[in-house]
Amino acid sequence: MKLQFTDISEVKEDKNPFIWYPFVPKNECTILVANGGVGKTYFALDVLGRLSNGITMPNKMDAGLKAGSKTVMVSSETDPKEFTKRLTQLFGKCPSNNNCACSDVDKEPVVSSLEFGSEEESQVVNKTAFNKHLITHITPPVEMLGKDKGFADRNTRRSFMKQIADFGDKVVLFDPLKSYLGNAYASQHKLRAVMEELSQDLKEFDLTFIGIWHLNKMGKVQGTTEVKDSVRSVVRMANNLEDERVSFIQVEKANNVPTDVKENILAFDKNSLGKKAIFGLEYNPDLYDSNVTMEEHIKGAKKKVKNVNIQTAQTVLDIITLAGSKGILLGDWRSSKNQKNTIVQEMRNRGFGNLARYIAKKQTGAIDTLTRRGMIEKVLVKNSGRGTRPLYRLATSEVSNAEISEGLIRDLEL
C-alpha cells in the first residue's frame, strides 16, 4: 500500500461542481427514485438531450456541459428501437437543423461496438446513434449483469468506464441502476464499498452517473437502506394526485445546496410530449400547487396503489367463487385476444380490464394476497401436451364478504 499526500495549495477549486444545479453534481452518482408510470425515463432522457445539446435546463439554469458533449443510456429494459422512438417523441424537431431526420422513427440505427473482457471472451455492445443528436444507447453485455458481476467487480467496472470515457461520453444514464450493482445493492456493507470505489473512478474518468431506481410497495427504495446514503444526490418524482398526467420533480438529498433551493419543485405535463412546437418536455411551475406538499403526493400514490390492490383482490375472489369447485384459469392480461374461462377475461367483461395487470404481481397482487390468506388455492392441471398450467379455486366456502374485505385490508396494510 502506498499513501498519496496532497498539498491543499495544489488543489484547484472546481468552479462548476454541477452539470445541472442543484440536481446532478459533476463526477458523482445521482439516483432518480419514483414509482412506475411517473415518467422517470422520459424525464431522464430529456435531461440528457438538454445537457448534450447545450439547451437551457428545466429550472432555467444553464447546462454544466459544453454543447456537443456526448451522453449515453445503458439499459436492457429499453431496447435501441424503443430508445429511438422515445427520443423522437422528445426531440422530433431539431432546433439546429430543420432538415434533420429525427422524425424518422423507423430509421435504421448506426451501430458501433465496445468490447469487454479478454479477446477470447469479448462481447459486442450495440451503441445506437440517434441522427445528429449526441445521445447514444448501450445494451449491456453479460459481464454487466448477474449477482456477482457488474460494478461489484472492479475490473468489469473500470473496463466499462474506460471505454465510455474513450468514446467521449460525459454523462451515463442507467435504467435501472440496480441491475448493474450485482448483489451489492442488497447489502449495506457491500454497497457502501462499491459506491466509494465508484466515486473515485468517476473522478478519474471524468464521468457523471444518473441511475433510475424503483420504489417498493411501501414507497421506499428497493434494496438496502444504504442506497440513498451511498450517493451524492437523490432526486424524487411523483404524480399529481389530481391529474396523473402531471409529474413533479424535487431534490431530496444534495450536498452543499441551500434548503430553500432543494424545496423548489419542477412540474411537467406528459401531454406536452411529442408536440411539434416543443423541444423536449414542457415544464410549467404553475402546474404545482404549493398548498399540497411533495410528501402528500407521494403518500397519496401509496394509498391509491393499496386501494387498487384491494379492489382487484375482491373482484378476483368473486370471479373464483362463481367458478365453483372446477376452478378457473388465470389468463394473460398482456394479450388482447378473447380468453374464455379465465380470470383476466372475466375482469374485462366486468369493466375492470385496466386492473388485470395487477393480478399476478408478487406479494401485493391479488393471487398472492388471496393465496397467502388461505382464501384460494392453486391446482396444476395437465395441458393437452406434456406440460401443466395453474388454475385457481376457493380453498374454503365458509367465508363472508365482510370477512373477505376486512382480511384483505388488514393484509395489505401490513
Could you tell me the CATH number of the domain that includes residue 329?
Answer: 1.10.10
Which grid cell sits at 367? 393471487
Give the pLDDT of residue 146.
73
pLDDT in tens, 51-87: 988 888 999 888 888 878 899 999 988 888 888 888 8
* pLDDT of 196 over the 70 cut: yes
Burial class (CB in 10 A: 0-12, 13-18, 19+), 400: exposed
Q: How does residue 338 score in pLDDT terms, banded at 50, 70 and 90?
A: confident
User: When comparing pLDDT for 352 and 69, which is higher?
Assistant: 69
The verdict on 222 and 78 lying in the same domain is yes
Does residue 311 form part of some domain?
yes
Where among 259, 292, 325 does a domain terminate?
292
The verdict on 105 and 168 lying in the same domain is yes
* pLDDT of 125 over the 60 cut: no
Q: How does residue 170 score in pLDDT terms, banded at 50, 70 and 90?
A: very high
- Does residue 27 come out as left (phi exceeding 0), alpha (psi in the -120 to 50 range) or beta? left
* pLDDT of 404 over the 70 cut: no
The verdict on 283 and 359 lying in the same domain is no
User: When comparing pLDDT for 116 and 35, which is higher?
Assistant: 35
* pLDDT of 113 over the 60 cut: no
Q: How does residue 406 score in pLDDT terms, banded at 50, 70 and 90?
A: low
Does residue 235 form part of some domain?
yes
The verdict on 269 and 330 lying in the same domain is no
Mean pLDDT, residues 203-227 taken together: 82
Report the chain's mean pLDDT, rounded to a whole number. 78
The verdict on 203 and 261 lying in the same domain is yes
Does residue 5 form part of some domain?
no
User: When comparing pLDDT for 104 and 33, which is higher?
Assistant: 33
Give the pLDDT of residue 7.
64
Are 153 and 160 contacting, i.e. CB atoms less than 8 angstroms apart?
no
The verdict on 288 and 305 lying in the same domain is no
* pLDDT of 194 over the 60 cut: yes
Residue recorded with cell 411533495: 294
Q: Looking at 25-29, 130-134, 144-148, which range is the least confident one?
A: 130-134
3-state helix, strand, coil in the chain (%, to 5): 40, 20, 40
* pLDDT of 43 over the 80 cut: yes
The CATH number for 240's domain is 3.40.50.300
Cα 8 to Cα 330: distance, rounded to the nearest angstrom: 66
Which grid cell sits at 332? 394473460
The verdict on 187 and 327 lying in the same domain is no
* pLDDT of 216 over the 50 cut: yes
Are 230 and 178 contacting, i.e. CB atoms less than 8 angstroms apart?
no
| Total of domains in the chain | 2
* pLDDT of 413 over the 70 cut: no
Give the pLDDT of residue 171.
96
Give the pLDDT of residue 117.
39
**pTM of the full structure:** 0.66
Q: How does residue 123 score in pLDDT terms, banded at 50, 70 and 90?
A: very low
Q: Which amino acid is at 99?
A: N
Domain containing residue 316: 297-413
